Structure 1
Amino acid sequence: MEVREYRAYDGLGLAALIRRGEVSREEVSAAARAAIEADNPALGAVVRTRFAKAAVEGRAVESEAPFAGVPTLTKDLLMAIRGEPLAFGSAAMADWRASEDSTLVRRLREAGLTILGQTTTPELGLMGITEPRAFPHPVNPWQPAHSPGGSSGGAAAAVAGGLVPLALAGDGGGSIRIPASHCGLFGLKPSRGRVPLGPMFGEVWQGAVVEHALTRSVRDSAALLDAINGMDAGSPWPLPREQGFLAALSRPPEKLRVAVSFGEPLGAPLGTHLDPEVRRAVEQSARRLEALGHHLEWVDPTVEGGALADSYLTLYLGHLAADLVWISDQTGVPVSRLELEPSTRAIGRLGRCLPARDYETAKRYWNRVAWDMAAFHRRFDLLLMPVAATPAPLRGALYPARARERLMALLAIPGASHLALKAGLLKRLAADSLRMTPFTQLANLTGQPAMSVPLHVTPDGSPVGVQLLAPMGGERCLLALAAQLEAEVNWAAHLPRPIAQAEVSR
């Protein structure tokens, strides 16, 4: 199988070829390896490969498995493979190896996916960009000078760049939807607890983090969710295995009541300004939904963005402080000597000084917002909003400046972190960190499913996704609508494949 032919199919398309005997899984895997070897040096999407092990695992795949030996990539964060490196995007974890497979990895193999390697993520998945100090920075295949987003930026670059038809990703504050928007892909964040994180963790960030994938097609996302969903032993979320996500694509959704918003209650308190192309993407998407027969009404969600950002960052600080202790335990290196990026170390110090009452108060606010959004969804089936305030930013534009890092380094002074919290540094951090992406954390805090759908491309060739949120458990509705939109737009036909090597290398 030639690489050009391999790139013409999504995951289920390749699986169908394998089942019909038109191509072997070995030929498909060889084409994927050739694509990675040829294009990843310029893309920077894959941090390590495991081709030989994947070949052995591929021979054991049942031909009737949903993906029948289709290659994929996992994220260098949370997705553990027994005995193999998992660095969490950090030099501090560069030599760490997992003692057992994660439940998600086992289910990927049962579904017939072969894991060829791991994709780049920012340190500990903390940013909406993917520019770790310890690893290469992935480029956006549409415009190589621009970021693919984060924290699943490596996964997005790999799929949009044609290395694999789907790549595993995670979303704790928009980390599936932001890269999907910037790279013209479909990205679904499932409901809280839908996909297990065990056995290494029961939950991450109080359940805000959910694992799934970035895909070219809606059907690959739906079929994957059929295969990997459902609690595992020790899960704090009693969500049994469900089926019917792929089947939901077989018929268009009923006429839906859709609220449309530019997300001003979320962005305005942080100083967010929408790019005109993002406004255009939302407006055009609303008109497209209306033309399909859905009822639209311009209504803002009943959420105060400043309080939402504060509560999100409060738990973010607390969890980072705990994560650094866990890394210290795993590596045997004291927290103070871990090889961390300056901003990670500074935020960890803030988290260490965070009063327990503030942490609990923030979590209670999450619950309040969830109740408010449940009431909102009694009026509306879905909420349409932007994913990010702009198309993909230039690489390096959103990474903390050196001056900011030097300022954060002052938190090492005894007592400085306590003073910084009292002086309102948390609010400044919220504004600085979330100003460009204030719209995605809502679904993580409430637990409801959300997706980024690639419905717009700017005149200069940058994709812009729009976000749709459903009430808890509403993945089937989202997927059915996404399939309806995909049939109208056929976005996968316009992905930047094959990559123009000279352009990517600039």
Structure 2
Amino acid sequence: MLSDYHQYDGLGLAALVCEGEVSPAELVDTAIAEIERLDPALNAITQTLYEEARSAAREGVDRDAPFAGVPFLVKDLIATVAGTPTTGSCRILKEHRFAADSELVARFRRAGLMILGKTNTPEFGIMGITEPVLNGPTRNPWDVSRGSGGSSGGSAAAVAARMVPLAHGGDGGGSIRIPASHCGLVGLLPSRGRNPMGPGLGEAWGGLAREHVLTRTVRDSAAMLDCIAGADVGAPYAAPAMTGTSFLAAAQAAPVPLTIAFTKEALYGRDNHPDCVAAVEKTVKLLQDLGHTVEEAKPELDRHALAKAYLMIVCGWVAWEIEHSAGIAGVPVRSGDYELTSWVMGLVGRKNGAIELAKARHICDMAARTMGRFHQRYDLFLTSTTARPPVEVGELYPSGGDAVALNVLKYLPLKSLLNKALDSLAEEALSATPNTQLFNQTGQPALSLPLWQNGEGLPIGVQFAAPLGGEGTLFRIASELEAANPWIDRQPSLLKAV
């Protein structure tokens, strides 16, 4: 057992393995002990693969692999692990086991990672909270009365609590960056097409969704992108080629002066919480002190049209996911097998046709053109990651009048009513997390950094977006800020209490 396990990031643990100071088996057993000790308070883990991980550690690890012997968790959505269910927190999939690893998981293994289990996610990943009916809510290690964000909330809670140094996540509208912000982590949305999604998918959510990891350090995120980046066989598209020798090299490169735009406003919402505004203001001051040119500016976008387009695309894919999951389970499509929000979003997708989807995709494509022109002037765009600090568990889950309205739509699924609800959702549904979806729509990379905390000691993330293919610039600025205002030694209250 490694007594100072909490102090190391993934690359740090791998260095210990490489130097023979600790064995992969010892790391696996240490991580299992931490999961058993801490997860009862968090509910981050939905499946355990302890014996499989112990067996992999005993069989031997390539000590030259970048993450040799490092304990790891996989989000229970999209990525498949051979012999285990990938449920997406959908009840009818909990017994279905996938025969093979997805390409991303295969690359995780080649990087040396030891997979200990699967992490909690909302059904189909469609909410910015991780509170599924199937598994129950995941709680935040900084304050267990609060949520960890979604949809990679299980992975975020596990990494923040130091159960593992990094874990898999996916992001279709902020689902890596939102929990990274709420749990005090580094969370990267890679460029569209950067990481593989095959062989079972060409793309997810019409290209909105991308997969990567949540980490405690910038270098772990960069090094992992080096391990997993690149289109797999038959991919529908690929991200622009990386500039430079590696993403890790970009993270370790000397800083260069950048021109950075920022806004303190919410992108798709009405307002930002004062804590989130303060985080942007402090980041601007820090950037200026480091020699960067920082200007208050934002792109001219129709935020309501973009929010509605985003939701239309998601609803179309949820409709497909409902039919697809029923087909996998070998059962007819039945409303009782799905959560109310999922079912109603699926109804919106079914009731609308190809023209509505084409319009939504066109709106996203035009936003990408706008952002491309914006980045001809600005290297990066800074916002707060979310518009609110972490909220209480249950606060954002539909209840009361919202639940009644969803039930009306469930039993009276008229297209006019569903589209009126969609129009309202574009104003209300993203109010707590309105700053992340734009970059899913445009294909750009965006990175949440845990630079600040509020007066209650809760993490408040800030987000940088770069032009398509600009992960190297993100890692360079992130490393500079990490050195200027380190966060690695901050410990969540759960670790102090146990």
TM over 0.5: yes
Q: What is the SS of the residue equivalent to 2:337? A: coil
Aligned-partner Cα distance in 2 for 1:332–1:194: 33
Contact map agreement 1:263 1:300 (CA 8 A) in 2: no
**Corresponding position of 2:460:** 464
Counterpart CA distance in 2 for 1:410 and 1:498 is 41
Q: What pairs up with 1:259-298 in 2 under 5 angstroms? A: 259-264=261-266, 266-267=267-268, 270=269, 272-298=270-296
**Matched letter for residue 169 of structure 1:** G
8 Å CA contact 1:180–1:454 kept in 2: the answer is yes
Given the alignment, which residue of 234, 254, 257 partners 2:256?
254
**Conserved in 1, the CA contact under 8 Å of 2:142 and 2:494?**
no
Listed as ranges, the gaps of 5+ residues in structure 1 are none
Stretch deviating more after TM superposition (344-353 or 466-475):
344-353
Deviations 1:438-496 (A, max 9, x none): 11001100000000011111111111000000000000000011011111112011132
If the length of structure 1 is used for normalisation, what is the TM-score? 0.95
Alignment correspondent of 1:410: 408
Residue 116 of structure 2 corresponds to residue 116 of structure 1? yes
Shift of 1:344: 1.0
Structure 2 unaligned regions, length at least 5: none
Report the number of matched residues: 495
Specify the SS of the correspondent of 1:167. Answer: strand
> 1:11–1:498: structure 2 CA closer, same or farther, 3 Å change rule?
farther
| Structure 1: distance between partners of 2:402 and 2:272 | 24
Q: Which residue of 2 aligns with 1:150?
A: 150
What is the rounded CA distance, in whole Å, between the counterparts of 1:16 and 1:497 in structure 2? 28
State how far apart, in whole Å, the 2-side matches of 1:387 and 1:378 are.
23
The answer to whether the aligner puts 1:452 opposite 2:448 as a matched pair is yes
SS in structure 1 of the partner of residue 51 of structure 2: helix
- Comparing 106-115 with 240-249, greater Cα deviation is found at 240-249
Deviation at 1:249, TM superposition (A): 1.9
The correspondence of residues 326-405 of structure 1 with structure 2, limited to 5 A, is 326-337=324-335, 339-405=337-403
Query: 2:82: which partner in 1?
Result: 82
CA distance in 2, matches of 1:239, 1:500: 42
Separation in 2, partners of 1:497, 1:33 = 20
Paired with 1:182 and 1:206, the residues of 2 have a C-alpha distance of 26
Bigger mean CA offset, 248-257 vs 356-365: 248-257
The structural deviation recorded for 1:498 is 6.4
After superposition, the Cα gap between the structure-2 partners of 1:40 and 1:226, relative to the gap in structure 1 and judged at 3 Å, is same
Structure 1 range deviating more: 385-394 or 470-479? 385-394
CA contact (8 A) 2:241 2:469 kept: no
**Mean Cα deviation higher: 58-67 or 199-208:** 58-67
Q: What is the one-letter code of the residue matched to 1:420? A: L
Whether the 8 Å contact between 2:182 and 2:459 is mirrored in structure 1 is yes
1:14 match = 13
**Distance 1:409-1:497 versus aligned 2 partners, 3 A rule:** closer
Give the corresponding residue for 1:244.
246
TM-score w.r.t. length of structure 2:
0.97
Q: In the alignment, is the contact (CA less than 8 A) between 1:47 and 1:136 conserved in 2? A: no
AA of the residue aligned to 1:23: V
State the 1:287 CA deviation: 0.5
CA contact (8 A) 1:349 1:417 kept: no
| Matched position secondary structure for 1:491 | coil
Match of 2:165 in 1: 165
The whole-number CA distance in structure 1 between the counterparts of 2:61 and 2:302 is: 49
1:309 corresponding residue in structure 2? 307
C-alpha displacement of 1:432: 2.6
Tell me which of 319, 322, 346 is aligned to 2:320.
322
Tell me the residue number matched to 1:97.
97
The percentage of aligned residue pairs carrying the same residue is 44
Aligned equivalents of 1:263, 1:450: Cα separation in 2 = 17
Distance 2:240 2:437 in 1: 25
Aligned mates of 1:413, 1:44 — CA distance in 2? 33
2-structure distance, mates of 1:471, 1:52: 43
